[in-house]
Amino acid sequence: MRARFAIAMLGLCCALAPANARSQGAGGEAELQPVVIEAPPAPGEADRAPAAATTVIDVASQAAEGRSTPELVARAPGAIVHSYGGPGQMATLSLRGASSAQCVVLLDGVPITNALTGTVDLASLPPSFLDRIEVVRGVVGPLYGPGALGGVVNLVSRPARGGPPAIDAEMRGGSFGTGELRLAASSGIGAGSALVAFDGLSTAGDFGYRPINATDDVARANNDARQLAGLGRFATPLGAGGTLDVLVQLERGERGLAGSIQNPSASDRLGDGRFTATGRLTQAVGPGAVELRAFARQDALDVTYASRLPLHELDTLAGAEGRLRTRVGHHGLSLVVRAAGEQLAADGSPDRSRPDLALGATDEWLLFDGALSVLPALRVDRIDRFAGVSPQLALAFRPTDALELRGSLGQSWRAPTFAELYLDQGLLTSNPDLRPERALGADLGATLELGPVRASASGFASEYVDLIEYELYPPFRAKPFNVGTAGIAGAEAELSARPRRELELSAVYTRQWTADLYDDVRFYQHELPYHPHHRGGLRAAWTASRLTAHAEAFAQSAQYLSRANTAAVGARVDTAAGLAFRPIAKEPIWLGAEAQNLFDVRSQDLYGYPLPGRALFALVRIATPQPEHP
């Protein structure tokens, strides 16, 4: 039995500076940051949750570091990313202890949760397309809809830029046969602006690991991955305060399913693809604005097994959303109406579709000259036969310009996935009698900004009921049942400082307490599996006109692998350091190198998936100067 992990973890992490802090850092230094964030970004969702604990990860300004999307998300407090095998391999998200299925991942506002698995593979999302990542934590269903029991990750694409043509190209290569090419070009077109981007990744993934009971390392086999992705974006003003923003993204990937250490797979393969399109029309109306958005997404999944029938799945989502924001006296009102439909076609099951309707309202009631905000929110959703109400009440108090105190109480729910309800395939069977999962949560937090120093801390507690868990259904299969109740509490802290204009230091720490509250003597008050007590890290970044450098270390404690709290996967530390420099002052060419897992720590993630040892990468980047204004 594992002893309770009580050591303090290294703190960690990352930039995490808010959007306004970012613009300060870049001020007047267009050359320092080849990709400038200056055009109005695509609408983030974080602005809709002023009382939620939100971390904004500036992806564009860290592009030279070559980190993957899962690695970037993992820099946020409250976020745990489970990785299944190294570069290009699947990685899933947990926010505030909620499972991947209990978190919403949005790509420019469009939910990209796979209907089959109920999860999002963060590794399938190229970071080179992203401007920033907003990690909103808490029971925020009233703001984001069903599924947001633990929080929301909103991936915000790079904006289309005006002005003369500009390019940003980067080529990387290094360990495990990994190579990546990233291209982005933007230009003004008439009154509008356009962006096209491409990302291609290939890796053999053949890092060394130690099989069970073996004395020597062997190379990971069938762990290769390839990924191609493209993005196109066009934005234009329409006059009279209106804008149109159209975005299309395509992604296609293929990779080996290498299996666990104990039972490696020699030939199982997975292919996936995603098409996402959004069109957004924004029109200023009086003191507010109206936003109309149409969206469509299609996900394809093809899995082939050496000794099982293949699995094919096509998930299609389309819908529209209207949002009105206005101000009436001391009230900032927002109304949202949404109508969408989702369809799943999968082997072994008839096609399934279900409507998704929502009506929600939020208010930001300013009192005491804006020092106190009262934020009630209510949303009603209906997904097929499941209907739910998600209420929330939040308070934000700003006694001084530097300090903000906030708290919220809310409830959210998650409808069972298509697979949980209907899909009998492979090892899984379905249960059409499932009920939605529900969560009730509260949090308290404070943010202090003193000059170049920003600190924030928050605590939370949530209760989850009717959790859907798979139970063995003999002799091979598993079937989902509403057999879980859990309590999760935690604390999160972030600290960032910019003692010099070029230097940014940051730290982040997360502590979680979990308890299985299901009425069963075998599990009651046990810890929940897959929930490390501690995660934290430190990060330092130097950004000057001809040199950038960074170093970071993240650590997380051990975590149980079963409700019985017996088997556990151990603690681990992830480290990285790198630098890039511009050898010729007048040329926009950067040369760089990055080292990951500096101390060659051999560790595993869940289910016995080994993680790669030390890795080295080199990069060449050409980034033409960007205009300061579109």
Is the distance from CB of 71 to CB of 54 less than 8 angstroms? no
Is the distance from CB of 545 to CB of 31 less than 8 angstroms? yes
| Spatial separation of the C-alpha atoms in residues 1 and 315, rounded to whole Å | 42
Structure tokens, 514: 């979990």
| Spatial separation of the C-alpha atoms in residues 625 and 102, rounded to whole Å | 42
- Shortest distance (Å) from residue 104 CB to other proteins: 22
- Going by the DSSP 8-state scheme, the letter that residue 474 receives in this structure is T
- Shortest distance (Å) from residue 446 CB to other proteins: 14
Rounded to the nearest 10°, the torsion over CA 148, 151, 157, 159 is: 100
| Spatial separation of the C-alpha atoms in residues 224 and 268, rounded to whole Å | 11
Q: Which residue number, 99 or 175, has a Cβ lying nearer to other proteins?
A: 99
Q: Which residue number, 218 or 589, has a Cβ lying nearer to other proteins?
A: 218
Q: Which residue number, 24 or 525, has a Cβ lying nearer to other proteins?
A: 525
- Shortest distance (Å) from residue 431 CB to other proteins: 9
- Shortest distance (Å) from residue 170 CB to other proteins: 35
| Spatial separation of the C-alpha atoms in residues 331 and 338, rounded to whole Å | 23
Task: Find the helix or strand (DSSP H, E) in which 497 lies.
Answer: strand 477-497
- Shortest distance (Å) from residue 195 CB to other proteins: 41
- Of the chain, the end-to-end C-alpha distance in Å amounts to 60
| Spatial separation of the C-alpha atoms in residues 314 and 310, rounded to whole Å | 14
Q: Which residue number, 201 or 258, has a Cβ lying nearer to other proteins?
A: 258
- Shortest distance (Å) from residue 329 CB to other proteins: 32
361-384 burial, b if ≥16 CB within 10 A, otherwise e? bbbbebeeeeeebbbebebebbbb
Task: Please identify which residue in the block is written with the tokens 């395509």.
Answer: 250
- Shortest distance (Å) from residue 309 CB to other proteins: 6
- Shortest distance (Å) from residue 432 CB to other proteins: 12
Q: Are strands 242-256 and 269-285 parallel, antiparallel or unpaired?
A: antiparallel
Task: Please identify which residue in the block is written with the tokens 């057999």.
Answer: 483
- Shortest distance (Å) from residue 206 CB to other proteins: 17
Q: Which residue number, 481 or 590, has a Cβ lying nearer to other proteins?
A: 481
Q: Which residue number, 44 or 86, has a Cβ lying nearer to other proteins?
A: 86
- Shortest distance (Å) from residue 96 CB to other proteins: 12
Q: Which residue number, 308 or 546, has a Cβ lying nearer to other proteins?
A: 308
Residues that bind other proteins (CB under 8 A): 211-213, 222, 257, 259, 261-268, 305-309, 347-348, 424-427, 429, 433, 440-442, 444, 459-463, 471-477, 479, 481-483, 485, 487-489, 513, 515, 517-525, 527, 562-564, 566-567, 608
Q: Which residue number, 187 or 482, has a Cβ lying nearer to other proteins?
A: 482
| Spatial separation of the C-alpha atoms in residues 549 and 230, rounded to whole Å | 28
Q: Which residue number, 149 or 517, has a Cβ lying nearer to other proteins?
A: 517
| Of the candidates 162, 164, 249, the residue with the CA atom closest to the CA atom of residue 198 | 249
Is the distance from CB of 233 to CB of 192 less than 8 angstroms? no
Cα-based angle 73, 153, 445 (whole degrees, multiple of 5): 90
- Shortest distance (Å) from residue 474 CB to other proteins: 4
Is the distance from CB of 546 to CB of 514 less than 8 angstroms? no
Is the distance from CB of 172 to CB of 183 less than 8 angstroms? no
Q: Are strands 589-596 and 615-623 parallel, antiparallel or unpaired?
A: antiparallel
Query: Quick check: helix, strand or coil at residue 370?
Result: coil
Is the distance from CB of 198 to CB of 229 less than 8 angstroms? yes
Q: Which residue number, 442 or 553, has a Cβ lying nearer to other proteins?
A: 442
| Spatial separation of the C-alpha atoms in residues 406 and 67, rounded to whole Å | 32
- Shortest distance (Å) from residue 226 CB to other proteins: 19
Q: Which residue number, 479 or 602, has a Cβ lying nearer to other proteins?
A: 479
Rounded to the nearest 10°, the torsion over CA 443, 444, 449, 453 is: -70
Q: Which residue number, 218 or 403, has a Cβ lying nearer to other proteins?
A: 218
Q: Which residue number, 362 or 514, has a Cβ lying nearer to other proteins?
A: 514
Q: Are strands 151-157 and 103-107 parallel, antiparallel or unpaired?
A: parallel
| Spatial separation of the C-alpha atoms in residues 597 and 611, rounded to whole Å | 10
| Of the candidates 122, 93, 95, the residue with the CA atom closest to the CA atom of residue 274 | 122
- Shortest distance (Å) from residue 615 CB to other proteins: 24
- Shortest distance (Å) from residue 566 CB to other proteins: 4
Q: Which residue number, 46 or 528, has a Cβ lying nearer to other proteins?
A: 528
| Spatial separation of the C-alpha atoms in residues 172 and 596, rounded to whole Å | 14
